[in-house]
């Protein structure tokens, strides 16, 4: 009879994609309720009905778990957008985000504050969420250049992700309103497209 492998070498079944999404969605639910500072791996594990060890097998810590949760539950997948025009791509991106602006503005503001005191969170958000999504958004402009919509790569392209992010999450501060679809369409037509076409 062959020797049985030591317990440390026994392979555990991999988590299914459905279960992983359930854990990440639960993380967002807890994050919305208590904020980043008060969120703990224990609280997520309790809500998700799993062990804390299960979470740590998938994510090294709270910053990585939160970043993964934000990426997995993002309202729009920019990589899937290709309408055939630069304006169409930009509108498809921002109008989908507008539907969640009211509930996401406070969440993003809280995370922004947390990154000031927790570099690990800032790094996790950049690596897992911001940089991949920024690259997809910049691809809207690259395709426009390839189609001949733009004469060349515009200087404003380097600031496009920041422009969109600011429009989405700062309207509440300036106008006491959330960034709805009408506001964002006006922003794209009045500010973003002119900047890209004239730079």
Domain layout of the chain by residue ranges: 7-63, 74-197
- Position 110 scores a pLDDT of 92
Q: Which one-letter DSSP state was computed for residue 190? A: I
Question: For the chain, how far is it from start to end, CA to CA, in angstroms?
Answer: 74
Supply the CATH classification number for the domain 7-63.
1.10.10.60
- Position 168 scores a pLDDT of 87
Give which of 37, 39, 79, 74 is closest to 55, Cα–Cα. Answer: 39
What pTM was computed for the model?
0.82
Res. 144: pLDDT tops 80: yes
pLDDT digits (tens, 9 = 90+) for 40-61: 999 999 999 999 999 999 999 9
Q: 13 falls in which pLDDT band (50, 70, 90)?
A: low
- Position 188 scores a pLDDT of 97
Across the chain, what does the average pLDDT equal?
A: 90
Instruction: Give residue 190's Cα distance to chain centre.
Output: 25
Give which of 91, 95, 74 is closest to 180, Cα–Cα. Answer: 95
Distance CA 1, CA 180 (A): 68
Q: Which one-letter DSSP state was computed for residue 50? A: S
Residue that wins the pLDDT comparison between 38 and 101: 38
Q: Topology of domain 74-197, per CATH?
A: Tetracycline Repressor; domain 2 (1.10.357)
């Amino acid at each position: 009879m062959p020797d049985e492998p030591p317990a440390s070498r026994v392979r555990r079944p991999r988590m299914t994609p459905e279960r992983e999404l359930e854990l990440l969605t639960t993380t967002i639910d807890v994050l919305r309720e208590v904020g980043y500072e008060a969120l703990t791996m224990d609280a997520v594990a309790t809500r998700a009905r799993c062990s804390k060890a299960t979470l740590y097998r998938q994510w090294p810590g709270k910053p990585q778990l939160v970043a993964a949760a934000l990426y997995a539950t993002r309202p729009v997948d920019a990589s899937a957008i290709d309408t055939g025009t630069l304006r169409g791509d930009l509108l498809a991106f921002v109008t989908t985000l507008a539907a969640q602006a009211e509930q996401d503005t406070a969440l993003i503001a809280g995370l922004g504050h947390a990154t000031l005191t927790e570099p690990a969170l800032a790094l996790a958000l950049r690596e897992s969420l911001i940089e991949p999504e920024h690259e997809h958004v910049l691809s809207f402009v690259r395709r426009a250049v390839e189609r001949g919509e733009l004469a060349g790569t515009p200087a404003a392209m380097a600031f496009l992700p920041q422009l969109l992010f600011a429009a989405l999450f700062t309207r509440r501060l300036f106008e006491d309103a959330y960034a709805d679809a009408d506001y964002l369409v006006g922003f794209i037509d009045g500010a973003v497209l002119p900047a890209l076409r004239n730079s």
